[in-house]
A and B are shown apart, each in its own frame.
Chain A
Amino acid sequence: MASPIERVLRKDRLVLSMLLAMVTALAWAAMARMAEQGAGGSERLMPCCATFGLIFWMWVVMMAGMMIPSVTPMVLTYAAVMRRRLNLGAPYVSSGLFLLGYLGAWSGFSLIAAFAQWALHRSSLLNPESLRVHPLAGSAVLLCAGAFQLSDAKLACLSQCRAPLGYFITEWREGRVGAFIMGLRHGWSCIGCCWLLMAILFAAGVMSLWWGAAITAFVIAEKLLPWRRLVIWAGSISCFVGAAALIARTAM
């Protein structure tokens, strides 16, 4: 029979999972709308006319939609530890701050990605229709991503991302500021893990929902499935196959 604290922890988990799923759904809905507007030629979102701010915002929304699903276990663990520390007080505000810190880190990444997109467009290196770089440049990105998958740096960052309770046991910081900073720092190791996977979007099409969904699914698999090395290798091989396909297509 579950004790009161176990029931409370279970309820927190349910409530927070639902909230996170809602935020994710909103982010994807916003992404779908932006992609549609882009494709529909409303031109508001086409790089030719989009302001830097708008491109940045698109990346922020996209990173939130793609990363919240796989950071969910971390937020749930944080909330459970916080619930215990607050002696049954509600952990929602500080859990929100943890998530905000995490998304803050990814917004930093988004700033760089948006600048890259803007710069590529200005130098006419980004196809204005598909938002892709030249296939050869795309294959170079994929080759880098595939190689990085197998690096020690990737493995080190990933093991940070994969140990929710361990992270809080060793990295705990007090208070609401602490929640934000822990989120920020965790986001930083996630970026170390995933930045090249996100760069693949420049090869696949920045606003491509399907590729976005595929990368999201892969990140979830990498962080949550038990067969860590198998998933890492599968990712690497997929990148190399993709690179070969792009090169073959250019050659034809």
Chain B
Amino acid sequence: MDPTPWKVSGSYYEVCNCEAICPCRRKGDRKGGKASYETCDFALSWLVEDGRAGALDLAGMKVVMAGTFSRDNPDLWTVTLYVDDEATPDQKAALTDLFLGRAGGTPASGFGSWIGEVRAVRSARIELDHTPDAQRIDVPPYLTVKTRERVPHDAQVTCGIPGHQFPGQEIRAEVVRYQDGGFDWEFRGKCGFASRFTYSSS
């Protein structure tokens, strides 16, 4: 385990091919359930507003993860990680370990433990806009995500990836288009979620 203490926080936005409101999410007191379809294809994005790993400054860095898992079989997530191409090699290494759950801390005991196979870690130009109800993710030529609208909900909605301590807003995506290696998906009108996140080594 990496002994360097680290902490990152900022805004979070994700989409997947489930129907809104995503069945995985907690709604008020109601626990999450099972994915809408046999396969869950997803894209997650983090905009680090404030972050540090030891002496290394990570503020302003962008990270995107695209992946898939099958509802019915015992495999974990298969993912590809995209790290901001403006990151220095040290920053890239730190962000990779951190967001794949390899540097312990919050991600390792959460979504990091759901990752089985890492297809690739790529440096890429990442454009993230986390403006409420108008979020976008662009990782050319791999991924395009556009928000269509917010999905109203009375109860508080939370997701385990940014953490249940951060309530967020459910959205419906206009389009999610992804193509990289063997992965090729496009879906419209499916669910998404915007929130805050804070991950740390302890």
Q: Which residues of A contact B (CB under 8 A)?
A: 3, 6, 9, 13, 73-74, 76-77, 80-82, 84-85, 87, 159-160, 162-171, 224, 226
The majority secondary structure among interface residues of chain A is helix
The majority secondary structure among interface residues of chain B is loop
Q: Which of B35, B77, B108, B115 contacts A163 (CB 8 A)?
A: B35
* B116 and A80 contacting across the interface, CB-CB below 8 Å: yes
Measured between C-beta atoms, what is the minimum distance from A197 to chain B in Å? 20
* Residue B73 is within 8 A (CB to CB) of chain A in the complex: yes
* A76 and B74 contacting across the interface, CB-CB below 8 Å: yes
Give 28 CB contacts A-B under 8 Å: A6-B116, A73-B73, A77-B75, A80-B74, A81-B114, A84-B101, A84-B115, A85-B108, A87-B104, A162-B72, A163-B34, A163-B35, A163-B72, A164-B72, A165-B69, A165-B75, A165-B76, A165-B77, A165-B114, A166-B24, A166-B34, A167-B34, A169-B24, A169-B32, A170-B31, A170-B34, A171-B31, A226-B38
Interface size class of B (residues with CB under 8 A): 20 to 34
* Residue B113 is within 8 A (CB to CB) of chain A in the complex: yes
Measured between C-beta atoms, what is the minimum distance from B10 to chain A in Å? 23
Residues of B within 8 A of A82 (CB): 113
In the complex, besides A165-B69, A168-B114, 6 extra interface pairs with C-beta distance below 8 angstroms are: A81-B76, A81-B114, A84-B76, A85-B109, A163-B72, A170-B32
Measured between C-beta atoms, what is the minimum distance from A82 to chain B in Å? 8
Kindly report which residue of chain B lies nearest to residue A80, judged by CB atoms. B76
Q: Find residues 161-178 in chain B having any chain A CB closer than 8 Å to their own CB.
A: none
Q: Which residues of B contact A (CB under 8 A)?
A: 1, 24, 31-35, 38, 69, 71-77, 101, 104, 108-109, 112-118, 160
* A77 and B74 contacting across the interface, CB-CB below 8 Å: yes
Residues of A within 8 A of B1 (CB): 87
Residues of B within 8 A of A84 (CB): 76, 101, 108, 112-115
Residues of A within 8 A of B112 (CB): 84
* A170 and B24 contacting across the interface, CB-CB below 8 Å: yes
Residues of A within 8 A of B114 (CB): 81, 84, 165, 168-169
Kindly report which residue of chain B lies nearest to residue A88, judged by CB atoms. B1
CA distance in complex: A80, B1 (Å)? 18
Residues of B within 8 A of A167 (CB): 34
* A170 and B33 contacting across the interface, CB-CB below 8 Å: yes
Measured between C-beta atoms, what is the minimum distance from B78 to chain A in Å? 10
Residues of A within 8 A of B117 (CB): 6
CA distance in complex: A224, B76 (Å)? 16
* A9 and B31 contacting across the interface, CB-CB below 8 Å: no
Q: A76-B74, A81-B76, A84-B101 are in contact. Are A159 and B31 (CB under 8 A)?
A: no
Residues of B within 8 A of A163 (CB): 34-35, 71-72
CA distance in complex: A74, B72 (Å)? 10
Residues of A within 8 A of B160 (CB): 169-170
Kindly report which residue of chain B lies nearest to residue A174, judged by CB atoms. B109
